[in-house]
């Protein structure tokens, strides 16, 4: 099964943003695209089969989610994350990015403070500013204890929480690849409880965790910590099969909301937006992924971990001026290019023009991202090693 991930699949001329959007993003098609976070792997066969079966019916009308879809999600969360979710907590949404905007709009007041922890997935910032809320940045701390790793600045967070209504948490974290540990999350919950802070926990990468780490759903931990479950009522969790099973283009996600008042407010706001959540294809793909995708995911994570480890070793051995944060989750590498002493525009040009690589500039992830580049390794390992060889050659040619 693992060999399936070595099989190259041509994605050009499929309206792929990652491939067909290269000229618009990088100014040229002559780059290996390793930027936007989707993978170059075929989805589980069960998803393809479910889509084909649905396509055989010649009418694609308005659709509604069956109860079996909710059951598939609940079964998955219980089996995979030991998290027992109630049916009434689940609200379907058209994607995690819309969910970020939706929750901020529905549950915070105009000009209310909303905390984000950069460098972080850039829609976190716009989810705050789009709604005319006040952006409060609590940057992660980069530590070097032999290995580069990130931590939350809990001291600063405690201070900022006094003047905020909400925190947007990325767990596991994109782009730095951290899986937050139990003591960190408990400290976060304590701050939230003390200062009446609502937390939206984006856990879209929760299933893409390597064997040397374990994801802990924040809402589940809050229930374990507080037997009355009151703490869990301030936690809203975003989940989706989109990253896990490589179906982000189908656009169906979920908010898990134990707090009934929060749930009503979010549902009301969603209705006011007039946004269609379901369609005939995302429904069947969603259910098939959670019902039958487990074996495929296990093989994927073994393959990605092997790719991650080989890439990490290659960079450390052959590129002394490039640091790399070894991710505990996601298929994203966070490359520390600060030793090259290039400003962000020059760094991006170097990757595009000299290495012929299309990566995501770290500066787009906010404060602390300057001098970094995000590299997507969700592609056949041969592509990853080719990309790193290109980078090594460009560094040697330019003597930097």
pLDDT for residue 146: 75
Q: What would the pLDDT profile of 270-302 be if each residue is shown by its tens digit?
A: 999 898 899 999 999 999 999 999 999 999 999
- What is the average per-residue pLDDT within 368-391? 98
Lowest mean pLDDT among 16-25, 141-150, 167-176, 218-227: 218-227
Residue 276, pLDDT score: 87
Residue 233: both structure tokens together: 């009522």
Least confident residue range of 41-50, 140-149, 220-229, 365-374: 220-229
* Alpha-carbon gap, residue 399 to 172, rounded angstroms: 36
Amino acid 241: pLDDT: 98
Three-state secondary structure string covering the chain: CHHHHHCCCCCCCCCCHHHHCHHHHHCCCCCEECCCCCCCCCCCHHHHHHHHHHHCCCCCCCCCCCHHHHHHHHHHHHHHHCCCCCHHHEEEECCHHHHHHHHHHHHCCCCCEEEECCCCCCHHHHHHHCCCCEEEECCCEEEECCCEEEECCHHHHHHHHCCCCEEEEECCCCCCCCCCCHHHHHHHHHHHHHHCCEEEEECCCCCCECCCCCCCCHHHHHHHHCCCCCHHHHEEEEECCCCCCCCHHHCCEEEECCCHHHHHHHHHHHHHHCCCCCCHHHHHHHHHHHHHCHHHHHHHHHHHHHHHHHHHHHHHHHCCCCEEECCCECCEEEEECHHHCCCHHHHHHHHHHHCCEECEEHHHHCCCCCCEEEEECCCCHHHHHHHHHHHHHHHHHHCC
How confident is the model at residue 48, as a pLDDT? Answer: 98
* Residue from 269, 240, 261 nearest 104 by CA: 269
Q: Say whether pLDDT at 314 is over 60.
A: yes
224 confidence band (pLDDT: 50, 70, 90): confident
Residue 210 has pLDDT above 50, yes or no: yes
**Residue that the structure tokens 């070793």 belong to:** 313
Residue 231: per-residue pLDDT: 60
pLDDT tens, 72-87?
A: 999 999 999 999 999 9
Closest to 201 in 3D by CA, of 160, 162, 231, 245 = 231
Q: What is the mean pLDDT of residues 365-382?
A: 98
pLDDT at 379 over 70: yes
At 253, the pLDDT band (50, 70, 90 cuts) reads very high
**Mean pLDDT estimate for the chain:** 95
What's the average model confidence in pLDDT over 339-360? 97
Candidates 361, 303, 279; CA nearest to 39 is: 303
From first CA to last CA, the distance across the chain in angstroms is: 40
Please give the pLDDT value at position 94.
Answer: 95
pLDDT for residue 227:
44
**Is the per-residue pLDDT at 226 higher than 70?**
no
What domains sit in the chain, N to C, each tagged with a CATH number?
2-44+295-391 (3.90.1150.10), 50-292 (3.40.640.10)
Q: Is the pLDDT of residue 2 over 60?
A: no
How many C-beta atoms lie closer than 10 Å to residue 49's C-beta? 13
pTM: 0.95
| Closest by Cα among 137, 130, 98, 96 to 114 | 137
pLDDT score for 264 = 96
Distance between alpha carbon 84 and the CA centroid of its chain, in Å? 22
| pLDDT at residue 90, as a whole number | 98
Average pLDDT estimate for 354-365: 98
* pLDDT at residue 228 tops 90: no
């Amino acid at each position: 099964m693992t060999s399936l991930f070595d099989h190259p699949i041509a994605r050009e001329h499929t309206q792929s943003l990652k491939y067909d959007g290269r000229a618009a993003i990088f100014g040229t098609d002559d780059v290996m695209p390793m930027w936007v976070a989707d993978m170059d792997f075929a989805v589980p066969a069960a998803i393809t089969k479910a889509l084909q079966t649905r396509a055989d019916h010649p009418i694609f009308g308005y659709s509604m989610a069956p109860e079996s879809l909710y059951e598939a999600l609940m079964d998955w969360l219980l089996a995979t994350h030991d998290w027992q979710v109630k049916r009434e907590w689940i609200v379907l949404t058209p994607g995690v990015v819309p969910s970020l905007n939706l929750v901020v709009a529905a549950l915070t007041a105009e000009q209310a403070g909303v905390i984000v922890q950069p460098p972080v997935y850039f829609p976190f910032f716009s989810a705050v500013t789009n709604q005319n809320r006040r952006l409060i940045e609590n940057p992660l701390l980069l530590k070097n204890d032999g290995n580069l790793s990130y931590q939350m600045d809990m001291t600063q967070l405690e201070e900022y929480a006094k003047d905020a209504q909400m925190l947007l948490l990325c767990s596991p974290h994109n782009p730095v690849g951290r899986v937050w540990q139990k003591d960190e999350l408990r400290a976060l919950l304590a701050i939230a409880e003390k200062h009446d802070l609502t937390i939206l926990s984006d856990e879209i990468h929760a299933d893409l965790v390597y064997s040397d780490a374990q994801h802990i759903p924040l809402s589940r931990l809050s229930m374990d910590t507080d037997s009355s479950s009151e703490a869990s009522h301030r936690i809203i969790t975003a989940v989706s099969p989109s990253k896990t099973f490589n179906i982000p283009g189908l656009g169906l996600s979920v908010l898990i909301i134990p707090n009934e008042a929060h749930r009503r407010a979010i549902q009301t706001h969603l209705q006011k937006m007039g946004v269609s959540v379901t369609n005939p294809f995302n429904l069947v793909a969603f259910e098939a992924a959670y019902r039958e995708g487990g074996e495929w995911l296990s093989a994927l994570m073994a393959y990605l971990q092997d790719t991650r480890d080989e890439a990490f070793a290659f960079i450390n051995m052959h590129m002394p001026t490039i640091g790399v944060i070894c991710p505990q989750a996601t298929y994203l590498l966070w490359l520390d290019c600060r030793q090259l002493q290039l400003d962000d525009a020059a760094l991006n040009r170097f990757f595009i023009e000299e290495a012929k690589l299309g990566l995501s500039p770290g500066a787009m992830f906010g404060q602390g991202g300057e001098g970094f580049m995000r590299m997507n390794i969700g592609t056949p390992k041969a592509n990853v090693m080719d990309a790193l060889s290109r980078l090594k050659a460009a560094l040697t040619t330019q003597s930097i």
